[in-house]
Chain A
């Protein structure tokens, strides 16, 4: 009787796998104050995306909220709070998978009764939450996730959903343009991307853009390992044997860092030009371990690529003083989302200053143009709900004497050069030969 039966064994295994697949963690806030603006903020606080993305974004949210509430952000954001209301953030962990996030979102809107939600790093979470946003009719701003499918497939006529961070199309088109400018003799390329919306969309857009920019270029390999796979030995062998002149990867977080360790040890970076579209988030941590000559991006003109401006200088210094490290792109994108919300609210409030209705805010948000630490953000596509921005790439090198990473051959592409016009799907736009692009 001590021994398990086969039925037990099978059910134990089933239960084990089911349990192993999902973890859900929730940390709802509680305070209630009528004069304040309650903002649900969703970002990874646990799991593999927390260190490189979630926590830098949370830090930026806390910094911006307290600075805005004090009124200490430089002009034009120097008025206190948002349209006079004190911001009350309710920060939620994005970990746990799409089902958990949909429940958490419903909880934020229906039980916590937040005025709006800013959040979501994972493209998978964005895809799951997007239809629920329109169903529950609560203003929601996606700040980071990159899949262009959000306004092209998932919610084609958005009313309540906005995204202040540009799509993966911008990264991929910019990466292709940059690669062919700095290495015009590229004849073949391969890719290694995570097997979900972000990785697939990034790769598809990159391939399409390369084919348009240089039709004779050849795709010699594509790898789609599982998200968080960690072990890339066989994939790296396949990339090495492919003989590709260039390798594209939209890997991020621990996957990116593990891939860099394993690929660098095997000389992939010497054999091929490697383009890492999110490389900026890892450059300070990896330091000398990030091979010289890597092409790295920051998903927009963020972080080290951000233009000089009083707002950017203030943001970088404040962030450094508070957290002891420089802000990377997730921090910039969170700040950008919060400033977008402030601009929309205050535009809607007008001179009167009373807190506007949700409908007024939405009307003001559509098509909005505003300044963020990384420059101008234009809500130009997706019926005025999707931001476009320029993108910048550079070549990484590490100075062993000073112990500082640096970037050379930095080139920027303006928003209209790397994003489709309104009402044109990304892939159609690329395949049309970037019709209407202004570079």
Chain B
């Protein structure tokens, strides 16, 4: 019983984290058809900025609860500055190229940003542990869980809801959906696709950085954290279907619960289980669970 409850809670916490770190990747792919490898660097930049701000804030002894605002602030700062710089500075010049070229371009950006991070923050770890312990823990059948982790679940639901609402209920969202469905037709009817691309990329960058910012309090922020995240985020969005926000949510839930179950019941399979699911899904549905096959255009 305890194990079953632990699997549910651990699975939900991990799924929430996975969704937060992968939703930006799938959003950008859905709209722009760019598999953004630099997503990992944006995550890392978010984590470093948050850790740096939180460290400085708590060192001054300011009111602790207001410190939580630094996490979204860091994400916004990184997303807007780095997102705009990447989109306006590089990607804008590359639109219309083959998807593989765009992967190489964003990989190059990833490498540059990894060194930028090293240049700014060095290689020593940064900590932002204060927000993690501050809220205390709740006991679930005698198993303590930090409230911060449970709040992450709430945050993931909010992000999912806001992205859904934004896409389906706002004008910009409807324009984005039009672009996702048919980019050429959207341009033909006068939608400013280039501007929408900038908006989407910044939004995706903010979400990537938010993933890093909310992770920062529970990890040691060290060089290389971005690499791990890209690989996991890829697995999640591929399972759900590249470009599908709902798919990312389902993918995160599947991976989250499968991994938690493996850790509790069959620890040897933990590493393997994520990729086993990915392989199984791709065998049955090569485009992922929620993406539709596209006709090849000649």
Residues of A within 8 A of B (CB): 1-13, 15-17, 19-21, 23, 45-48, 50-52, 54-55, 95, 195, 221-226, 228-231, 233-235, 237-238, 240-241, 253-258, 261-262, 264-267, 285-286, 289
User: Complex: how many Å from CA A235 to CA B7?
Assistant: 10
Q: Determine which of B110, B127, B144, B260 lies in contact with A266 in the assembled complex, contact meaning CB atoms within 8 Å.
A: B144
Q: Let me know if B129 and A51 touch, CB within 8 A.
A: no
Contact of B294 among A6, A230, A240, A253 (CB under 8 A): A6
State whether A13 touches B238 (Cβ < 8 A).
yes
Give bound CA distance, A51 to B124, whole Å. Answer: 4
Q: Are B125 and A229 in contact (CB under 8 A)?
A: no
- Interface positions of B from 267 to 283, Cβ below 8 Å from A: 267-268, 270-271
A233 with B14: CB separation less than 8 A = yes
Tell me, in angstroms, the Cα distance from A223 to B259 when the chains sit together: 12
Contact of B231 among A20, A231, A261, A264 (CB under 8 A): A20
Please choose the segment from B32-40, B59-67, B155-163, B168-176 that sits at the chain A interface, where 4 or more of its residues have CB less than 8 A away: B32-40
Pairs across A and B, CB under 8 Å, 10 listed: A4-B294, A16-B230, A20-B227, A45-B123, A48-B224, A48-B225, A231-B14, A266-B137, A266-B144, A267-B137
Interface string of B30-74 (1 = CB under 8 A from A): 000101010010000000000000000000000000000000000
Q: Which residues of B contact A21 (CB under 8 A)?
A: 227, 231
Cross-chain contact B103 with A234 (CB below 8 angstroms): no
CB pair A48–B222 under 8 Å, yes or no, is yes
Nearest-Cβ distance from residue A238 to partner chain B, whole angstroms: 5
B102 touches A12 (CB 8 A): yes
Q: Contact: A51 with B222, CB < 8 Å?
A: yes
- Further 17 A-B residue pairs, CB within 8 A, beyond A3-B184, A20-B230, A222-B267: A2-B96, A13-B35, A19-B37, A45-B123, A48-B223, A50-B223, A54-B123, A223-B263, A228-B225, A230-B215, A233-B13, A237-B6, A253-B222, A254-B125, A257-B125, A261-B132, A267-B137
Contacts of B129 in A (CB 8 A): 261, 289
Which residues does chain B contribute within 8 Å of A15, judged by CB atoms? 100, 103-104
B residues in contact with A235, CB < 8 Å: 263
Taking a contact as CB atoms under 8 Å apart, the answer to whether A20 and B11 are in contact is: no
Question: Which residues of chain A have C-beta atoms less than 8 A from B264's C-beta?
Answer: 234, 237-238, 241
- Which of the residues A46, A266, A285 comes within 8 Å of B223, measured between beta carbons? A46
Q: Which 10 A-B pairs have the closest CB atoms?
A: A257-B220, A50-B123, A234-B10, A254-B220, A254-B222, A234-B263, A12-B99, A258-B219, A4-B99, A51-B124
**Chain B contacts of A241 at CB under 8 A?**
2-3, 6, 143, 264
